[in-house]
Structure 1
Amino acid sequence: MEYGLFRHFLQERSQMAANGYTRSNSNSMHLHQLDVNNAFLHGDLDEDVYMTLPPDFGRKGETRVCKLHKSLYGLKQASRQWFIKLTTALKRANFKQSKADYSLFVRSQDGKFTTLLIYVNDVILVGNNLQDIEDTKSFLRDQFKLKDLGQLKYFLGIKVARSNKGIVLSQRKYALEILEDVGYLGAKPISFPMEQNLSLGKFDGDYISDPSSYRRLVGRLIYLTITRPDLTYAVHVLSQFMDKPRVPHQEAAYRVLRYVKQTPGQGIFLPTDSSIQLNAFCDADWARCHNTRRSVTGYCIFLGSSLISWKSKKQTTISRSSAEAEYRSMAATYCQITWLKYILQDLGIQH
């Protein structure tokens, strides 16, 4: 499941409430969260799987093995079997699985609309009828051991704040943890993450002494871009040097941290009073990469006035002109729009 789906999933549910899909206002669209305990242990095995005996179990030189009746954590097919078990249960409850994203399930009957979004064992449950949501929880509780976390407030490190005006997604706590881990809580903040004409190459400067620290930092910054589109391009540049980072690359990463220090609580606001209309903007920086001469694609897609999808990525082939690079950027954007339209259709919104 892409985190972009999580963003526009919340946006579309909020928009539907504001546009009369529910009986009152946006607050009548309920957002709840569930957690499945020991999710992988619920999976059923379709084949015979054997495992060696645990250490210190049985006699010395024991040759017997154990036959598994249920999947275990660490088993290669455990995640697949768990998802099959959950999907089968939801289909029995008249949920339809989205063909655009298999982690999304929708049920619409008698004016009641309920949606589930699944990430491994974490479940977001959204609907316009509170009783229907409780019935869904009861059904799932009969099938699996659940932990009801109540209203959606914190999901995979993303804080969800809700009001009559809309929903705010932010990762303030996660941003502060990054700053604390690197020792930049007291750093002087700056107003932009990367110099406009900065050009980083694979062979600039000396190698850093601890490459793993750079990889860990950039990896955490990548996760931070879930709610920080202003960091996307800078993190895209930094992630190209994960194999052999050098001193200029590390200094550029530290500059991004100083920018994060200025606004650690910056996030995405999804208002309820905008239209349900997709608008996309794309661009390309021709031959931006000095090492490979490949161009960089950048796009952002809005649902009404809400930013729901964005990307900065090096193109897979070398464009021989700026026009060719622009067309490749447009094609990538169109693919994303097409996918979003299918998601909208599964959620009952005709675009």
Structure 2
Amino acid sequence: KLKKALYGLKQAPRAWYDMLSSFLLSQDFSKGSVDPTLFIRRNGNDLLLNPRSIFINQSIYALESLKKYSFESCDPVDTLMVEKSKLDEDKEEKAVDPSHYHGMIDTLLYLIASRPDLQFAICMFARYQARPTEKHVHAVKRIFQYLRKTVNRGLWYPKDSSVALTAFADADHTGCQDTRRF
């Protein structure tokens, strides 16, 4: 009798699927058109697939970030950093709120996954999170201004391209002007 009780319930998986299905549909998921057991939730166009390529873009997150830090109507700039600008740990300049600076850097770091053009500048400014000054904040604001202009950029991978990175080394000995470390 126990064997029949455990293995004889043919309706249990269907009941479980119905309950899961109704929950996922209430959470803004939609059923796949080909496979009804596939549930899809769309959050904008962060990932665009077509038969010949893949395009990855975080424009919605970028726009939310611009809004969060009040840059949605700022003047856009063409470059991430001012040419020949020297950022260093200025012990004499007055420090600003590190939590605000840290939040701005964290927001931008998340974008690096789909925006490698931002990586160098963000990592350069992330060095100064311990004691940021007004010039550091101004430099990070410039990244947001650049982001305002380039919000729709992303990564495009054509299907027939053969991208094979075998090895890479970026030797930047004594790259940091303040500490002589890399």
Q: Distance between the aligned counterparts of 2:165 and 2:123, measured in 1? A: 25
Look up the SS of the partner of 2:86 in the other structure: coil
- Once the two structures are aligned, what percentage of the paired residues are identical? 30
Count of paired positions: 149
The yes-or-no answer on 1:248 pairing with 2:138 is no
Q: Is the 8 A contact 1:179 1:185 kept in 2?
A: yes
> SS of 1:234's equivalent?
helix
Q: Give the C-alpha shift of residue 182 in structure 1.
A: 1.1
1:230 pairs with 2:117:
yes
Displacement of 1:276 after TM fit? 5.3
Aligned partner letter, 1:215: H
Which residue of the partner structure matches residue 263 of structure 1?
A: 150
Unaligned runs of 5+ in 1: 1-36, 38-129, 138-147, 295-314, 316-351
TM norm structure 1: 0.39
Task: Please tell me the root mean square deviation across aligned C-alpha atoms, in Å.
Answer: 2.5
Equivalent of residue 206 in structure 1, options 94, 107, 111? 94
Question: How far is 1:178 from its partner?
Answer: 1.0
2:77 to 180, 183, 190: 190
Deviations 1:40-98 (A, max 9, x none): xxxxxxxxxxxxxxxxxxxxxxxxxxxxxxxxxxxxxxxxxxxxxxxxxxxxxxxxxxx
Give the structure with the higher percent strand: 1
Distance verdict in 2 for CA 1:244–1:283, change over 3 Å: same
Question: In structure 2, what is the equivalent of residue 174 of structure 1?
Answer: 61
1:153–1:160: structure 2 CA closer, same or farther, 3 Å change rule?
farther
Distance in 1 (alpha carbons) for counterparts of 2:42 and 2:47? 5
Q: Structure 1 stretches (4+) deviating beyond 6 angstroms?
A: none
Q: Name which of 146, 149, 157 aligns with 2:39.
A: 149
Distance, in Å, in 1 between the alignment partners of 2:165 and 2:75 is 39
> SS in structure 1 opposite 2:46?
strand
Aligned-pair CA distance for 1:149? 2.8
Give distance in 1, aligned partners of 2:124 and 2:152. 23
CA distance in structure 2 between the aligned counterparts of 1:158 and 1:201, rounded to whole angstroms: 38
Q: Please report how far the alpha carbon of residue 199 of structure 1 lies from its aligned counterpart in structure 2 after TM superposition.
A: 2.4
Q: Is the 8 A contact 1:207 1:245 kept in 2?
A: yes
Q: CA deviation at 1:232?
A: 0.3
Query: TM-score scaled to structure 2, two decimals?
Result: 0.72
CA distance in 2, matches of 1:160, 1:191: 25
1:241 alignment partner, SS class: coil
Separation of aligned partners in 2, 1:198 and 1:288: 15
